[in-house]
């Protein structure tokens, strides 16, 4: 298992958190997604190495931006 941390901009509410969590959670290999709204951090735990581009695409799909 590996855990990677990311920063996401544009999240302002619980709906934002849920959208980001859902989109990242659909990536193959992701086992857990923890989003902290206050500081815009996202911790992604996976059973394989996830490419940053995959995370960025999921965050963009949710309507936000990976920093």
What is the pTM for the complete model shown?
Answer: 0.94
Query: In this predicted structure, what is the pLDDT of residue 20?
Result: 98
Distance of CA 42 to the CA centre of its chain: 5
What CATH number was assigned to the domain covering residues 1-45?
A: 3.30.70.100
pLDDT digits (tens, 9 = 90+) for 1-42: 999 999 999 999 999 999 999 999 999 999 999 999 999 999
Distance CA 40, CA 55 (A): 14
Query: In this predicted structure, what is the pLDDT of residue 24?
Result: 98
pLDDT class of 66 with cuts at 50, 70, 90: very high
Check if the beta carbon of residue 20 is closer than 8 Å to that of residue 11: yes
Query: Could you give the residue ranges of the DSSP H alpha helices within the chain?
Result: 14-25, 52-62
Distance of CA 19 to the CA centre of its chain: 9
């Amino acid at each position: 298992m590996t855990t990677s941390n990311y920063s996401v901009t544009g999240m302002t509410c619980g709906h934002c958190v849920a959208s980001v969590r859902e989109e990242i959670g659909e990536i193959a290999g992701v086992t857990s997604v923890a989003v902290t709204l206050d500081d815009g951090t996202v911790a992604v735990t996976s059973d394989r190495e996830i490419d940053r581009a995959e995370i960025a695409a999921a965050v963009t799909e949710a309507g936000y931006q990976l920093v």
